[in-house]
Amino acid sequence: MSDVIGVAWFKDERTYREALDVFTDPGNMPARYEDWKALVRKQCDLIKSGGNIAIRADIDPETIAQWCNAHGFKADSQGRTAFANHVALEYQKTGQGIIIE
């Protein structure tokens, strides 16, 4: 059976830049949106080459800090990972989500 892996996702450059302003660890993220996209492409290729499913965990800069706080996380890499895992779990439960092709 394939694993479902959530991938923190930013829909566009504006969203990415706004999210960097919210995160407590922006230095752990690529400075440029294009660099983030290249990194995520590689990550998704690895996920899929292992026979797994990559699911978009769309991050909304306006609410990610609230989500993290409500679930006991900071808006940092651990919070992003927890959110992505949450989205993957919801996909497993409901079948709803966006698969990264």
Q: Let me know if residue 25 belongs to a domain.
A: yes
Helical residues (DSSP H) of the chain, grouped into ranges: 13-22, 33-49, 64-70, 77-94
Residue 100 inside a domain? The answer is no
Kindly tell me if the per-residue pLDDT of 1 is higher than 90: no
**Joined tokens for residue 75:** 């808006």
Q: State the pLDDT at residue 32.
A: 96
In a domain, 101, yes or no: no
What's the distance, CA 68 to chain centroid? Answer: 13
pLDDT in tens, 26-80: 999 999 999 999 999 999 999 999 999 999 999 999 999 999 999 999 999 999 9
How many domains is the chain built from? Answer: 1
Containing structural domain, residue 33 = 4-94
Only one residue has tokens 């566009």, namely 12
Q: Is residue 88 in some structural domain?
A: yes
Residue 31 lies in a domain: yes
- What pTM was estimated for this model as a whole? 0.93
Q: Is 49 domain-assigned?
A: yes
